[in-house]
């Protein structure tokens, strides 16, 4: 076992209160599966932990997790102020509790200082947990590996995002073949092209995340499509302007990912109604390419 895994387990064994595993709000597939896999890992090393998610996963994420044998309904629960928390797939606690450890793949220049902090670039947080299991030498079942494969496809636009490494792509493809997973299904779910006939208010809110950078509060959503039109885009942006005002945020970062053209467009929506457009000539990762830059800029504004 590496020093790092040893330290993580040492920190958890020293917990004075109930250990609770949690993912970020509006849990996506990677958040659900990384929590499930972390709980399995800990149970195999004799550490008892419960999962608590305080907000509902969307229909697609729940459906995918259920298909992989993960009981999503059992994951909802309360986080109490005295719980010892393990944060998965995010690194700033959203509901109180005492953070003991965090395992995350959202890069930041402003790393939190928990007893155990592991923030790395990786295609999926679930894959980081699988590596911890390998490192600890615990038994790994085909179903555990399937969770990591699926999270990689779903969190990286079917292995296309810049945040996934060539090694992870190679592993995901090989493991999916070895485990006889339905690759066409993984591909389709990973691309998850939006249905543009849905109401713009609904399209506007996919993948919502809230970020707190010092005193600034930022919201972000995205749409995956190869068929965005000017009129749909205008209606989405109009909706986001009022959503930003209603929530009193400082910025709304809305992304349009076109996985077929391999391009992303970023719209920064400001409280004064201004919209700034940035184009990427590649499929940008929200965590790696977009939010790291937004965070840096806003942290500088905080200081200034």
Binding site for Mn ion (CB under 5 A): 30, 89, 125, 155
Of the two residues 125 and 164, which places its CB atom closer to Mn ion in the complex?
125
**How far is residue 256's CA from residue 56's CA, in Å, rounded to a whole number?**
24
Report the residue closest to Mn ion, judged by CB.
30
Is 130 in contact with 37 (CB distance < 8 Å)? Answer: yes
Of the two residues 127 and 213, which places its CB atom closer to Mn ion in the complex?
127
Q: How far is the CB of 105 from Mn ion (least distance, A)?
A: 6
**Residue 27: is it exposed, middle or buried by C-beta count within 10 angstroms (0-12/13-18/19+)?**
buried
In the beta sheet, which residues pair with residue 219?
A: 210, 252
Q: How far is the CB of 102 from Mn ion (least distance, A)?
A: 13
Sequence-distant (≥ 6) Cβ neighbours of residue 140 within 8 angstroms = 130, 133, 134
Of the two residues 30 and 289, which places its CB atom closer to Mn ion in the complex?
30
Q: How far is the CB of 30 from Mn ion (least distance, A)?
A: 3
Strands 116-119 and 251-258: unpaired
Q: How far is the CB of 171 from Mn ion (least distance, A)?
A: 17
Q: What are phi and psi of 50, to 5 degrees?
A: -110, 155
Q: How far is the CB of 146 from Mn ion (least distance, A)?
A: 17
Tokens of 235: 């209606």
Is 163 in contact with 105 (CB distance < 8 Å)? Answer: yes
* Helices and strands in the chain: count of H runs, count of E runs: 10, 10
Rounded to 5°, the CA angle 288-1-117 comes to: 35
Of the two residues 82 and 120, which places its CB atom closer to Mn ion in the complex?
120
Q: How far is the CB of 85 from Mn ion (least distance, A)?
A: 17
Of the two residues 125 and 203, which places its CB atom closer to Mn ion in the complex?
125
Calculate the alpha carbon distances from 80 to 84, 117, 193, 236 in Å. Answer: 9, 21, 37, 37
Q: What is the DSSP letter of 83?
A: -
Of the two residues 89 and 258, which places its CB atom closer to Mn ion in the complex?
89
Of the two residues 124 and 243, which places its CB atom closer to Mn ion in the complex?
124
Q: How far is the CB of 89 from Mn ion (least distance, A)?
A: 4
């Amino acid at each position: 076992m590496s020093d790092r895994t040893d330290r993580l387990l040492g920190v958890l064994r020293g917990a004075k209160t109930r250990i609770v595993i949690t993912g970020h709000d509006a849990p996506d597939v990677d958040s659900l599966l990384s929590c499930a896999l972390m709980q399995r890992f800990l149970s195999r090393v004799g550490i008892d932990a419960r999962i608590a998610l305080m907000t509902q996963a969307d229909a697609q994420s729940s459906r995918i997790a259920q298909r992989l044998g993960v009981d999503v309904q059992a994951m909802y629960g309360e986080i109490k102020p005295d719980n010892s928390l393990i944060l998965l797939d995010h690194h700033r606690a959203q509901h109180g509790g005492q953070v003991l450890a965090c395992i995350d793949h959202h890069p930041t220049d402003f790393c939190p200082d928990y007893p155990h902090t592991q923030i790395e670039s990786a295609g999926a947080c679930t894959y980081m947990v699988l590596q911890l299991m390998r490192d600890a030498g615990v038994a790994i079942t085909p179903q555990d590996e399937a969770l990591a494969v699926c999270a990689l496809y779903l969190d990286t636009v079917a292995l296309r995002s810049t945040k996934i490494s060539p090694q992870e792509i190679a592993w995901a493809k090989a493991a999916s073949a070895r485990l006889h997973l339905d690759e066409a299904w993984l591909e389709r779910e990973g691309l998850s092209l939006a249905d543009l006939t849905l109401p713009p208010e609904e399209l506007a809110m996919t993948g919502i995340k809230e970020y707190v950078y010092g005193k600034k509060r930022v919201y972000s959503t995205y749409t995956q499509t190869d068929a965005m039109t000017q009129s749909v885009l205008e209606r989405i942006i109009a909706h986001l302007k009022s959503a930003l005002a209603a929530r009193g945020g400082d910025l709304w970062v809305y992304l349009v990912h076109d996985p077929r053209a391999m391009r992303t467009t970023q719209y920064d929506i400001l409280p004064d109604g201004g919209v700034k457009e940035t184009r990427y000539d590649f499929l940008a990762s929200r965590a790696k390419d977009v939010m790291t830059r937004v965070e840096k800029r806003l942290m500088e504004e905080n200081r200034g």
